[in-house]
Amino acid sequence: MLGRANGGAGAPGPESTIAITPLPYTRIGPGAFSRESRGENRRKGAGVLMFGVLVAAFLMFAIPGCLFVEVIVQVEVSPADASRALEAAVAQVGTSYVLGGQRPEDGFDCSGLIVWAYQQAIPGARFRVGRATAPDASMADLWVWNVALKPPQDLVPGDLVFLADDSGQVVHGGLFMEWAGDDVLRFVNASSYSGQVVVDEWPLHGEKRGQRFAGAGRLKVVRRRW
C-alpha cells in the first residue's frame, strides 16, 4: 500500500520506526455509483416507458379498434384464373335470375354469379367486406373493396364489369368476354331485365336501360389475414 512517512528530517536508521498513514482511495465496482446517479437512470427509463404508453393511447383513440383490426392482404387474380371463372359463368347462361341467388340450383343475381364463378376457379376464395373478409360480396363490396380498376383496353376475359344508375351508384355487373365493336363490350351477367343469366353487349359511353358503364378491372381476392 502506498503511503507517506511521519518523522523528523533525515534518513531513518536501521532501527527507526516509520508510521504509515494510508492514502485515501476510490473503489471502482458495482457500488461505485451514487444513489443520485441510479435515481437519474431510473427517471430516464420511466420517461421512455411513459412516452410509449402515451403513443399507444393516442393510437387507440385516433384509430378506434387499431389494436384489434384485422390486417387484410389482397392480390389480383391471374388472367388464367379470370379465364376459368368466365368459363364457369358462361356455362350458366340460361340459369334463372333470383335476387340473392348464389348457386346454380337456386339461381343467381349479378354478384352471386361473379362470386360463384370465381370460387370455381379459386376454391375457397374470400373477399374483403370493410375491415373483415367473407366468402361472398355484394356488387357494391366488389366495386369498393375487391377490384383493381384497369383501362378498358387492358381488360382480359373474366375481368369484372360494373354498371351504375343515374345517381352514380354501382348496381349491376358481370364478367368481361370480348369486344363487340368500337367501345362496345360483351359480358356475361345475371340480368334481372332478362330474368336469367345472359350475354349482353354494353357501350362504354351513353346509357342503356337506365344504366351506364362505371368501370372495369381485375378482381382482388384475400391472400392472407392476421
The residues spanned by each domain of the chain are 21-69, 72-225
pLDDT one-digit tens code per residue, 181-193: 999 999 999 999 9
Q: How confident is the model at residue 225 (pLDDT cuts 50, 70, 90)?
A: low
- Model's pTM, two decimal places? 0.70
CA distances from 97 to 105, 124, 188 (A): 11, 24, 13
For residue 146, the 8-state DSSP code is S
Which of 84, 113, 83, 116 is closest to 96 using CA atoms? 113
Which residue in this structure is represented by grid cell 368501370? 215
Question: CA 149, CA 216: separation in Å to the nearest integer?
Answer: 6
Alpha helices (runs of H) in 63-176, residue ranges in sequence order: 79-90, 110-121, 139-145
pLDDT one-digit tens code per residue, 109-161: 999 999 999 999 999 999 999 999 999 999 999 999 999 999 999 999 999 99
Superfamily of domain 72-225: endopeptidase domain like (from Nostoc punctiforme) (3.90.1720.10)
CA distances from 196 to 49, 110, 166, 187, 192 (A): 64, 10, 23, 14, 7
Which of 15, 219, 11 is closest to 117 using CA atoms? 219
